[in-house]
Structure 1
Amino acid sequence: MRKLAYVLPALVILIALGLSSIFIVDPRYKALVLQFGAVVKTVEKPGLYFKLPFVQSVVYYDGRIRGLSTPPLEVTPSDDRRLVVDAFARWKITNLVAFREATGAVGIPLAEKRLQDTLIDAIRGVLGQVPSNAVLSDDRTPLMNQIRDVARQKAAKSLGIDVIDVRLTRTDLPDQNLSATYARMKAEREREAADEIARGKEAAQTIRATADRTALELTSAAQKKADVIRGQADAKRNAVYAAAFGKDPEFFAFTRSLRTYEEALKGSNTTIVMTPDNEFFDYLNTDRGQASAGRTPAPGTKAPVPMPMPMPATSSGGAAQQSAAPKP
């Protein structure tokens, strides 16, 4: 029983010593074995490892890729236009010893703060050498790669970490400049719209003038053609009339007189003042005809046939009356 009393405590102590000398490294982490604060061993591969119990300690660090965002900051490109920029970086620990020396017991929080300052310096240094148009353009990959390279070089030396990638997540004008910029953009768009409207009106006026000229030319050509056709028709009609009237001169004289009467006696208030023996009345006299006027028909012709036609009434206002018969 006395031996058993000594064996059990010894066994417990051995188990405790064995457990304290074993440590496991997770695949997501890396470890440093410290002895009295000094680094004696670096473990970067996962597995089961041993250390001196109660003398050595193990510090674990996240070996995965981490992200870090920068706060919005104002930068001044080479054309002196202020911009508000923020970025996002991905990084991981590559040198555990340098990282431990740079951050001490604080570890990752201090590393992120120092890395953020490094990124801000790199962003201002790179973007300050280019115009604002290059920063505001869609293709900012060369600028982001340049910022990454600058930050990577500084972070590797001072912190023992690798900056994998840097992305500019925001590149805007300051709020106080947005209104002026929008007003200028609006004025430019309005000017472009006015130019387009003016060009459209000019084109419409040109098309309208061309159409009017074409219509006038077509109308003139049609009128000319119509006049030619009308002239040809009149000539043909006159030829037909001449041929018809040549066969009977008396009938020609009769129809010409009738046409004259039709033109002269239009309207209801026509007044004609002339002597009764005027030849105008040759075909209006109902009882004498040509003989009453003292004229004889030409040889080989017949005397015109009297055509009884009523005389129009006298016009109002005291005008002279028309005479339908010769004086007695």
Structure 2
Amino acid sequence: MKKTTFLLPIVVIVLAAALSSVFIVDERQKAMVLQFGRVVSIKEEPGLAFKLPLIQEVVRYDDRILSRDVDPLEVTPLDDRRLVVDAFARYRITSVEQFREATGASGDQAISTAGTRLDSILRASTREILGSVTSGDILSSDRAALMQRIRDAAFPEAQKLGLEIIDVRLKRTDLPRQNLDATFARMRAERERAAADEIARGNEAAQRVRAQADRTRVEITSDATRQSEITRGEADARRNAIFADAYGADEEFFRFYRSLTAYQKALLSGNSTMVMSPDSEFFDYLKSDQGASRAAE
């Protein structure tokens, strides 16, 4: 009984030491074994690994592909047309020992520190590469070569941090706000000028059509007036010929007819007052025997 009581704490201590000496390396991580701050070993393969209990500690680093968004930066291409570029990069930790030495930290703090330094590297490479081409090359849809050049330019500096840059992408490439407003104003002015040209050409065409229509109207009106005058002249000539024939056939009848026409036009409703001499020739046929008998009736 005394022997069991003595051995039990020893067994517990041995088991605790054995368990603390074993650790698991996840397939998504790399592990670094440190002894008093000095790197003892690096475990990159997933599975079980061992360390000295109490003396050694394990620091883990992400072995997955990480992403870093670069803050928007303004670049000036060869044609001095300023652009605002928004990019991001994908990278991974290739050397955890070098990564620890460069960042001086571990865990999330190391990732944050490395991201800040990587951001500076990418910004410098982006400015350098995009500053060596024109804005047309940057704004074109085929700019994969530029992104590859940015990645290659940033690669050596990233290696010093223990990082490997896998890819760099330009998400957005725009003009600065002031340049954008100026460009929109210029585009608007060009469209307004084009619209004014179209309106002027339309007014010119309308004037030509209107002038042609007016000329056609005058020609048609003139021709119609000429035809009507001809027809009226022929009708007057024919009427005069009829009157002349009638006058020649019976002069007395013609005078009688002309007097009746005069009476018809003069003695209308409303013409109640006439001032003339009673022995005027106008009343010759009214004072005749035929006219008197007709008036009596």
For residues 199-251 of structure 1, give each alpha carbon's deviation from its aligned partner in whole angstroms, at most 9, with x where no partner exists.
30342243133223223313322431342244135325523642563354155
Distance in 1 between the 2:155 and 2:250 partners?
A: 124
- CA drift of 1:258 comes to 5.3
What aligned pairs does 1:1-328 form with structure 2 within 5 A after superposition?
1-34=1-34, 37-45=38-46, 47-54=47-54, 56-106=56-106, 107-135=110-138, 137=139, 139=141, 141-142=143-144, 143-152=146-155, 154-156=157-159, 158-169=161-172, 171-173=174-176, 178=178, 182-183=181-182, 185-186=184-185, 189-190=188-189, 192-236=191-235, 238-239=237-238, 241-243=240-242, 245-246=244-245, 248-249=247-248, 254=254, 285=281
Asked if the contact 2:39–2:97 (Cα under 8 Å) also holds between the matched residues in 1, the reply is: no
Change in Cα spacing, 1:307 to 1:62, as seen in structure 2 (3 Å) is same
Checking the alignment, whether the CA contact within 8 Å between 1:73 and 1:84 is kept in structure 2 is: yes
- Structure 1, 124-133 or 216-225: larger mean CA deviation: 216-225
More helix by share: 2
Structure 2, unaligned stretches of length 5 or more? 267-279, 288-297
Give the C-alpha shift of residue 60 in structure 1: 0.5
For residues 239 and 157 of structure 2, the distance between their equivalents in structure 1, rounded to whole angstroms, comes to: 116
CA, structure 1 residues 234+103, in 2 after alignment: closer, same or farther (shift >3 Å)?
Answer: same
Aligned to 2:271: none
Paired residue total: 266
| In 2: Cα distance, 1:252 partner to 1:222 partner | 42
TM-score, normalised to structure 1, is: 0.63
Is the Cα–Cα contact under 8 Å of residues 151 and 165 in structure 2 kept in the other structure? Answer: no
- Per the alignment, do residues 22 and 181 of structure 1 end up closer, same or farther by CA in structure 2, a change over 3 Å counting? closer
Aligned residue for 2:41, secondary structure, equals strand
Larger gyration radius, structure 1 or structure 2: 1
Query: Which protein has greater RCO, CA pairs closer than 8 Å, 6+ apart?
Result: 2
Percent identity, aligned pairs only, is 32
Q: Deviations over 1:145-193 (max 9, x none)?
A: 43234334542464233333433446442x7xx1x76357425523541
Q: Counterpart in 1 of 2:293? A: none
> Aligned-pair distance for 1:83?
4.2
Shift of 1:112: 1.8
Q: Structure 1 residues 124 and 251 mapped into 2: Cα distance closer, same or farther (>3 Å)?
A: farther
**What secondary structure is seen at the aligned counterpart in 1 of 2:150?**
helix
State the 1:97 CA deviation: 4.4
TM score, norm. by length of structure 2? 0.69
CA RMSD in angstroms comes to: 4.0
CA distance in 1: counterparts of 2:226 and 2:151, whole angstroms: 88
